[in-house]
Structure 1
Amino acid sequence: MEGPVPGQDTVPTDTEPSNAIKVLHLLFLSTSWGMQIWVTFVAGFVMGSCLPRHTYGFIQSELFPYYFHIGSTCAFLNLTLFAMYHPSELLSDEQTTQIVVFFVCVAASVLNTQWFGPVTSDIVADMQLVERSHGLGQEVGLFTSKSCRQLRASNPGYGQLSRQLTLYHALSSLCNLCCIVCNGVSLYYLAARLTAL
């Protein structure tokens, strides 16, 4: 049997990943998506409606770096594992879309990890210093109290911090929502290929 001819191009093949790789891929994807659903739609609302605002802000500042780093790591590993077993020369349109979805998830996760998350936490910390100096921050609930609204109107520095928080929180939430959608699409892609439960 003859080996490959030196200098001749080899044709890439779409190899079947081992069961261990499939389990890893599913583990990273489901961990990321489950964590995102829990933090975004359950834990955030429960804590926000039951805890004093400053306590809620402190918990978020401690929790979110882990949340963002785990999400970024899972997104990167999902992209890497998928790309390893789907050579670019053999990608179907559906697989190309899946690669793009994983890449968008990585980009959005990294933006939150490296930029939006830390900036938002810094702004919240600065706002809490101002609020403490005015005896505020122990109110319970997701919505801004009347006293905070009055402080925003009377203190230009605090008002500017509040506007910055609104902007960065919106950008961070948009990235988070983007990751949830991307991971949901990826789970659908996997589920569509299951032959049995």
Structure 2
Amino acid sequence: MEGCVPGQDTAPTDTEPSSTIKLLHLVFLSTSWGMQIWVTFVAGFVMGSHLPRHTFGFIQRQLFPYYFHIGSACAFLNLTLFAMYHPSELLSEEQTTQIIVFFICVAASVLNTQWFGRATSDTVADMHLIERSHGLGQEIGLITSKSCKQLRASNPSYRQLSSQFTLYHALSSLCNLCCIICNGLSLYHLAAHLSAL
């Protein structure tokens, strides 16, 4: 009969994920990456340069909660799936880096979902109320009109909202960019370990 030798530990093994788990990991990562690239570098610029400012702002306020929540869910599921099949005792330096990248992506996504993205949308909505009361907001394009600059100079409330928007938008954009970089690094890691296309 075999028994355990005192003082001898059994080494944990790194289990190979099933094809279904690999597929799920790829689906979550590619969904998040594709959505981020489309929203950040295509849809935003196209809508911003062809729609009235308030229409563009309204569409963004409706879409961004879905964008942020889907991104957060994908980031969390990617971290969970990767961690499940890479025990901490067996992590190589590269795998440890990958876990950190996934964790940063989750943190940035949650910050955007719960605070910065929401604060940006709420601030824009308040700004639009003031702009509408002055007959502004139907101009096409993202460039701030001369009338908006004059309103900022003459209306302290609008000036404060504008400053808040600049801060929240910058923080939200930074989190979004962080997620794009993290997902790009994760895709690179995945591609580097493909045995065949």
Rounded Cα–Cα distance in structure 2 between residues aligned with 1:91 and 1:34: 28
User: Where does residue 140 of structure 2 map in the other structure?
Assistant: 140
TM-score normalised by L of structure 2: 0.96
User: Where does residue 181 of structure 1 map in the other structure?
Assistant: 181
User: Where does residue 61 of structure 2 map in the other structure?
Assistant: 61
Residue identity in the other structure for 2:158: Y
User: Where does residue 118 of structure 1 map in the other structure?
Assistant: 118
Structure 1 unaligned segments of length 5 or more: list them. none
User: Where does residue 164 of structure 1 map in the other structure?
Assistant: 164
Cα distance change on mapping 1:48 and 1:6 into 2, 3 Å: farther
User: Where does residue 48 of structure 1 map in the other structure?
Assistant: 48
User: Where does residue 150 of structure 1 map in the other structure?
Assistant: 150
3-state SS of 2:17 partner: coil
Rounded Cα–Cα distance in structure 2 between residues aligned with 1:122 and 1:129: 11
User: Where does residue 86 of structure 1 map in the other structure?
Assistant: 86
User: Where does residue 103 of structure 2 map in the other structure?
Assistant: 103
3-state SS of 1:144 partner: coil
Residue identity in the other structure for 1:94: E
Rounded Cα–Cα distance in structure 2 between residues aligned with 1:55 and 1:9: 64
Residue identity in the other structure for 2:111: L
Rounded Cα–Cα distance in structure 2 between residues aligned with 1:61 and 1:111: 17
Offset, 1:9:
5.0
Q: Deviations over 1:118-140 (max 9, x none)?
A: 11111001000000000001010
Offset, 1:2:
3.9
TM-score normalised by L of structure 1: 0.96
Q: How many residues end up aligned between the 2 structures?
A: 197
Residue identity in the other structure for 2:172: S
After TM superposition, the runs of 4+ consecutive aligned structure 1 residues lying more than 2 A away are 1-11
3-state SS of 1:75 partner: helix
RMSD between aligned alpha carbons? 1.6
- The correspondence of residues 14-33 of structure 1 with structure 2, limited to 5 A, is 14-33=14-33
Residue identity in the other structure for 1:25: H
Rounded Cα–Cα distance in structure 2 between residues aligned with 1:23 and 1:107: 24
Rounded Cα–Cα distance in structure 2 between residues aligned with 1:83 and 1:103: 10
Offset, 1:11:
2.6
Structure 2 unaligned segments of length 5 or more: list them. none
Offset, 1:12:
1.8
